[in-house]
Structure 1
């Protein structure tokens, strides 16, 4: 397997973050600090960074300011949402799951859902791509 890194972007000009390799080490605290120090976080209601990306799985660290919301949407694979800091409301249809640090949910593909931060929150979104 060839190691894959991200390209430099205006948001993250340093580039060279390993996204896929036989072993990818991820320091979530360092990524949270990075997100909090970027203009997107300071000027907007959210920020995110992809920390692993392969043909079959993607892991994204997302941060939401208090009351920020990811409006109803669906994913093309099975997902999990694991709260690292804060508290979010994960809603599917009429069911709302209140998730705090250390709690998570899993959801099958193509189910509409939304996420709203009750307070400043950071969570891991893991997407397992569908083989269909």
Structure 2
């Protein structure tokens, strides 16, 4: 019997550069989903400069970890500048959005009840 992998779209038992898991595309936001379960989603994103994810809310707390570049994360109408090596939590059920000031990569982990 084969065990179901909970993480997908990524090689197992290999050392990888997190930033290299997703590449930039002109005028786009590109994503690679690593896990999608009832209680957790893990996704790597690459934003071209000026691209964004519009304001929305989600049922779980969302941890943004910046892998490269600079962005503005808006939480409940307040802008937060964030850059390489930094992180911020977007609380559950609170409106939030992300806008790339420069090309920007992030690892997003959403934990749901």
TM over 0.5: yes
**Distance in structure 2 (CA, Å) of the matches to 1:48 and 1:30:** 12
Number of residue pairs matched?
Answer: 111
1:67 counterpart (36, 43, 50): 50
Runs (5+) with no aligned partner, structure 2: none
Runs (5+) with no aligned partner, structure 1: 7-15
Matched, 1:54 2:37: yes
Task: Map 1:1-132; keep pairs closer than 5 Å.
Answer: 2-4=3-5, 17=9, 27=16, 28-32=18-22, 35-36=23-24, 41-42=25-26, 44-130=27-113
What residue in structure 2 maps to residue 9 of structure 1? none
**Distance in structure 1 (CA, Å) of the matches to 2:10 and 2:86:** 27
Q: Following superposition, which runs of at least 4 residues in structure 1 exceed 6 angstroms of deviation?
A: 23-26
> Considering only aligned residues, what root-mean-square deviation do their CA atoms show, in Å?
2.7
Structure of higher RCO (CA pairs closer than 8 Å, 6+ residues apart): 2
**Distance in structure 2 (CA, Å) of the matches to 1:66 and 1:26:** 28
The answer as to whether partners of 1:61 and 1:123 remain within 8 angstroms in 2 is: yes
- Which structure has the larger Rg? 1
Q: CA deviation at 1:26?
A: 7.3
